[in-house]
Structure 1
Amino acid sequence: MNIRKKEYSKTAYLILALSIFAVFALAGGARAEFEDKNLGVRSSSMGGAYSGLSDDGEGLFYNPAGISRLKRAEFTSMHTSLFAQSELALDYFNFTQPLMPFATVSFGYSKFGSGLYTEKEIAMAIARQITESHNFGLTLKQLSSFIANTPDRTGFAMDFGFLVRFEKNLTAGISVLNLNNPKMNEVVPKTYKAGIAFNPKESLTLCLDYSKQSAEGKGSFNIGEEFKLTRNFKIRAGYSTYPSRFSTGFGFEFKNIKLDYGFRNHDTLNSTHRVSFTYMMD
């Protein structure tokens, strides 16, 4: 009888865990382990168009080469529940430290899901300015997934990226995420990203990205903008073509503190709201 109860319990847990994946199927496209969830608030608000910019700690998740542009250390924490579902809670913490003139290092931790299904990621990146206009970055990641009443799975992944500054107001970047296709419950596919960032004037940043998951996957164009309304306040907006999503947000900066808010719509499910706190160290 106890064995039968355990089997029923295991089946129930699996059904509930699969329901989480069903939400992502409605969200557009099949759900894959450790797929891009747009971790950063600023980058998400700009439609995920970030591989050509990546000039803060969020670059760890888009193009690690970009973190070498950071001038001072910063710590960021973020929280959201994707599509306003508590089972899809997403949290991350990031600390980035320039070690001039040698390199910049960044450490990140993210956790996605509830007790039924959970993904955890620990990342460490190092980036260096190779020449005055060329930057290179490398990230090593430990990936862990947990489904209730099933064995945990752990794997290791690698990301790398390049960033080039053509002019004072124009940069371009490329990155490959999950370069080694780590095997978890399924193979985590590579993600290719390429983008540019352009500053037509000091208060305006325009970004364009193209991203594609695996050679067979469908690509997405991402566009984003950030406009500095005042010395301390910025507004952002963006759009991605696959899945088709509109995003917006704002950032407030006062002395050593930054507060960011992001919104991303959805045609069927609830919209997603993100908030983050950043402390910049002198």
Structure 2
Amino acid sequence: MKKITVVGLAILLTLSVCELAFAQAKTGTAGGQFLEIGVSARAVGMGEAFIANCDDASAVYYNPALIATLPQAQVMLTHIDYPADINYEFAALTLPVPQLLGALGFGFYYLSTGDMPLTDYTYPRGSGQTFTARDVAASVSYAASLTNRFSVGITVKYIGEFLEEEKAVGWGADVGTLYETGFRNFKICMMIANFGSDKKFIEESYPLPMDFKFGMAIDAVSNSSHRVVLAVQGSHPNDNLEKYNTGMEYWYNDMVALRIGNRFEDDAGGGFTAGAGAKIPLSGVTLRADYGYHDFGWLKEVHRFSLGFSF
């Protein structure tokens, strides 16, 4: 009865969060939008309903509290091809550190636009020169399990945006929590992402894209050969509509995975997602390869590729 009550309360909380998706729209006033780009092909395949289902190095981005639950060191590398010759790279490392009674994580984020023609009032069609725009972030995370079911994590990050000769730099932070119910690997998580002081670009100041997130994941099926994970997530950003994501992941023999999801957002970035992945045991190392597909509406689809290692 107690387990049923926990599940029922969790479902009611999730439905409350999902209802926020139809709340009023807010003007997009925050900068640092690259901080909202999903960094894991696996997560994107599940509609980015990943705050409670992350068990790899991408936890430095999705929920730092989950770093405390990773028993081995983890490495992840991700490449994303966006339209208009925009590329995004992500790298992360997590490792348990018993001496610190927890675990550490490190992340690096880099977005570049490639060369763009430089125009001005004198040369509206281009001067023959080019420039690039770059966004960079570097983060350090710490997480600890306060009890056998509750963990907390924090990430501190340096953020820089560079356009031609101008730049805006600053600091931000994420705080995440994890509660493990002990029933079918059912997890409940909350997180506040990207809170910090405003950044100034030339003469204008703007806030970071702060976001409050709540999510859950559960093993709907779990046996020696098959595992099905269901996940749901809602978020309340400071610069856009409330939104929610849903995802499902199927594992066969804990070696091959298929994923499907949806991002319910009222913009071109919402929509259907899918993906696949595989784990390959090597001598002392487990290699993980993942692919994620995201239907970007009126823009072309976006493909993500991630490689991970645990050792």
Provide the TM-score with structure 1 as the length reference: 0.84
For residue 155 of structure 1, what is the aligned residue in structure 2?
170
For 2:251 and 2:92, locate their aligned partners in 1 and report how far apart those are by CA, in whole Å. Answer: 24
Count of matched residue positions in the alignment of Structure 1 and Structure 2:
249
Q: For each residue in 1:186-228, what CA deviation from the matched residue of structure 2 results, as whole angstroms up to 9, or x when unmatched?
A: 32131111000111222011110001211x6311110011101
For 2:248 and 2:96, locate their aligned partners in 1 and report how far apart those are by CA, in whole Å. Answer: 26
For 1:224 and 1:68, locate their aligned partners in 2 and report how far apart those are by CA, in whole Å. Answer: 23
Deviation at 1:181, TM superposition (A): 4.2
1:228-267 equivalences under 5 Å are 228-242=251-265, 243=267, 244-255=270-281, 256-267=286-297
Query: Contact between 1:181 and 1:190, CA under 8 Å: does it hold in 2?
Result: no
For 1:155 and 1:273, locate their aligned partners in 2 and report how far apart those are by CA, in whole Å. Answer: 30
For 1:94 and 1:237, locate their aligned partners in 2 and report how far apart those are by CA, in whole Å. Answer: 24
For residue 189 of structure 1, what is the aligned residue in structure 2?
209
Unaligned runs of 5+ in 1: 1-28
For residue 61 of structure 2, what is the aligned residue in structure 1?
61
**AA aligned opposite 1:246:** F
What RMSD, in angstroms, separates the aligned Cα atoms of the two structures? Answer: 1.7
1:206-245 equivalences under 5 Å are 206-214=230-238, 217-242=240-265, 243=267, 244-245=270-271
SS in structure 2 of the partner of residue 57 of structure 1? coil
* Alignment pair present for 1:40 and 2:40: yes
Query: Contact between 1:181 and 1:187, CA under 8 Å: does it hold in 2?
Result: yes
From 200, 222, 245, give the equivalent of 2:220: 200
SS in structure 1 of the partner of residue 173 of structure 2? strand
Provide the TM-score with structure 2 as the length reference: 0.76
For residue 93 of structure 1, what is the aligned residue in structure 2?
91
Structure of greater Rg: 2
Unaligned runs of 5+ in 2: 1-26, 115-131
Runs (4+) of structure 1 exceeding 4 A deviation are none
* Bigger Cα displacement from structure 2, 222-231 vs 191-200: 222-231
For 1:119 and 1:147, locate their aligned partners in 2 and report how far apart those are by CA, in whole Å. Answer: 9
For 2:300 and 2:31, locate their aligned partners in 1 and report how far apart those are by CA, in whole Å. Answer: 20
For 1:63 and 1:224, locate their aligned partners in 2 and report how far apart those are by CA, in whole Å. Answer: 17
Query: Contact between 1:47 and 1:238, CA under 8 Å: does it hold in 2?
Result: yes
For residue 6 of structure 1, what is the aligned residue in structure 2?
none
Deviation at 1:184, TM superposition (A): 4.2
Identity %: 21
Deviation at 1:166, TM superposition (A): 1.3
